[in-house]
Structure 1
C-alpha cells in the first residue's frame, strides 16, 4: 500500500544493511588513490617484466668469447638456411630452437651430422614439404635444410679490441658503410673469419643486417665472427681511433695502393663502402688514410665482399711478413 516502507524495494540496502550513502565519507575513501603505478618491469603479468626475467636468465647463461649473442625475449625468430650454415651454427652451439628438413632431401654427410647433433641435444627435428620450407625461409637457397633461432643480438663494437688483447693480437676490424645487400654482408663476414678479423661493424640505418640471407652467404662464418651494429658509424670510428687504432677507407682515389700498406702491422680498422656510392663524405673524412685497389680499368668496380677480401688478404700477408721477420730476428 502507498507509504508502506516495509514493502520490498522501498529502501535500497547496501552490502552492510545500511541505507545507501550519498557522497559521504565511504565514497570519498573509495576515490582515494592507491599510490603511484608500478613500473612495467615490476608488474609480474606485464610483457616487459617477462622480457626482463628472460634477459636475466640469458645473461646468467652467458656465452663463450666470440659466440654471437641473441636478443633475449624479443619473441622474433630468424632462419639459418643452407647446409653449411646450419652445421656451423650447431657446432658453435647457437640457441637453435628447431631444425627443418625438406621432404626428399639428399642425405649427405652434413645432413647426417645435423641429425646426430639434434638427437644428442634433443632438438626438434621436423620434415616439411619443400614448398613450405621455401615459404618459411622467404625464398632462401636452403638446400633442403634450415634452422630456426632467436633474433640476432649484435655485439659491443669495443669488445673486438678486448678479444684481440686477450689473444695477444693486433686488433683487426671491418666496418661497412651503407652496404645494403645482406649477401655482401655475409661475404664480408666470411672473409673476416678467413683472414683473422676480430669483428664486423655495421650501421643501424640504411644498411643490411644479419638476416637469414646474410647467414647463408657467410657459410656459417657468422657463428665465429661477431657483428656489431652502431647508431653512428663515424662516431664509432673515432672511438676506435681514440683507442689507438688506425682507420683506413677503401676508395678509388686512395692515397695508397695495395699491397703497400704499412699500417697493417698495427691496430687497424678497414672501412668498406657501398659499390655504387663508395664511402660517405663524413666517413671518408674520418679515415686516417684512403686506400685504393689497383684495377686494370678505372671503369671497373668491386662489390663490398670482394673489396674486403682483397684488402684483408693484403693485411694478413703484411702481418705474416712482420711475424716472419720477428722470428728470424730481422
Structure 2
C-alpha cells in the first residue's frame, strides 16, 4: 500500500474502528452496493468523515490496479494539531501569533509549498479546512521538504467561524484578494496576525472575505492578473518577516 492510502473493505473498516489512523476522506466506488460499504458509510458518519463517490477508474489509478473492493481511505501522514497548540507555541516563544490560514487549496504542491514557506518564515502554524481541501498526504509532505514534521497544521470544519474566533483571541485577519484596497507592503503585519490565502481558482469565499479585518492586494505589473497561491503566500509571509525584523531594531 502507498503510505497515504488504505484500500479494501476490511482494512478500511479496521482503520475506522481502531481510530489510530488519521483519515482525511473516504472514496467509494459509484454505484457499488455491499453491506460492508454500508457499514463504512455508517462509521464515517459517526466520526464526521467525508465520503465521496468516484468512478472505479479513479480508485484503480490511486491503488495501482490493486483490488480495492470499491473503497479507499485517504490518510494523513502526520497528526493534526489544535489551534490552541499553535497559539500556545506563539506564547512559548514570546512572540505575537503569526498564522497562515488557507481556504480550498486542492493542489498538494501548493499546500506543501505554503507549509514549507510558513516554516521558513517562522509562522507558528497553518490552518486548513476539513472539506474541499487537500490534507496532509504524501505529496504535501514531499513538497514541504520535511516542514510538516516541524510545522503545526490544524484542520477545522468552518474557516469563517475560525477567523472570528481568532479575532476574539486578539488576532488581526489579513485576506489576500484582488479587491483589496491596500498594497500588501502598506499594511501593518507586525502584531498578532492571520494571513488568509484563498483557493487556486476562486480565491476566498464571500463569508471568509467578510470575516477578514482588511484585504490586501499584491501589485501586478504585467498582463497576468493573479499569482499562484503558494507564491502569494510567500510574498505576504516575507513582507511580515521584513516588518517584524524592522520593529525589533
Query: Would you call these one fold, judging by a TM-score over 0.5?
Result: yes
Residue in structure 2 matched with residue 322 of structure 1 by the alignment = 247
SS in 2 for 1:152: coil
- Bigger relative contact order, structure 1 or 2 (CA pairs below 8 A, ≥6 apart): 2
TM-score, normalised to structure 2, is 0.71
Contact 2:180 2:217 in 1 (8 A): yes
Q: 1:310 & 1:290 partners in 2: Cα distance?
A: 15
Q: 1:265 & 1:274 partners in 2: Cα distance?
A: 25
Gap change, CA 1:150 and 1:312, over 3 Å in 2 = closer
- Following superposition, the deviation at residue 179 of structure 1 comes to 0.9
- Following superposition, the deviation at residue 151 of structure 1 comes to 4.1
How do residues 8-47 of structure 1 correspond to structure 2 at under 5 angstroms? none
Q: 1:284 & 1:75 partners in 2: Cα distance?
A: 30
SS in 2 for 1:310: helix
Residue in structure 2 matched with residue 111 of structure 1 by the alignment = none
Residue in structure 2 matched with residue 269 of structure 1 by the alignment = 194
Q: Does 1:294 pair with 2:219?
A: yes
Q: 2:236 & 2:100 partners in 1: Cα distance?
A: 10
- Following superposition, the deviation at residue 168 of structure 1 comes to 0.3
Q: 2:76 & 2:220 partners in 1: Cα distance?
A: 42
Q: 2:209 & 2:246 partners in 1: Cα distance?
A: 29
Q: Does 1:278 pair with 2:203?
A: yes
Structure ID, larger Rg: 1
Q: Does 1:185 pair with 2:132?
A: no
Q: Does 1:309 pair with 2:234?
A: yes
SS in 2 for 1:201: strand
Contact 2:78 2:148 in 1 (8 A): no
- Following superposition, the deviation at residue 310 of structure 1 comes to 0.3
Residue in structure 1 matched with residue 177 of structure 2 by the alignment = 251
Q: 1:239 & 1:277 partners in 2: Cα distance?
A: 24
TM-score, normalised to structure 1, is 0.54
* Matched residue count: 191
Q: Quick one: which of 201, 209, 222 aligns to 2:135? A: 209
5+ unaligned residues in a row in structure 1: which ranges? 1-46, 52-71, 77-134, 139-148, 325-330
5+ unaligned residues in a row in structure 2: which ranges? 1-13, 24-60, 65-74
Q: 1:215 & 1:221 partners in 2: Cα distance?
A: 7
Q: What's the Cα RMSD here?
A: 2.7
SS in 1 for 2:185: coil
SS in 2 for 1:282: helix
Gap change, CA 1:287 and 1:75, over 3 Å in 2 = closer
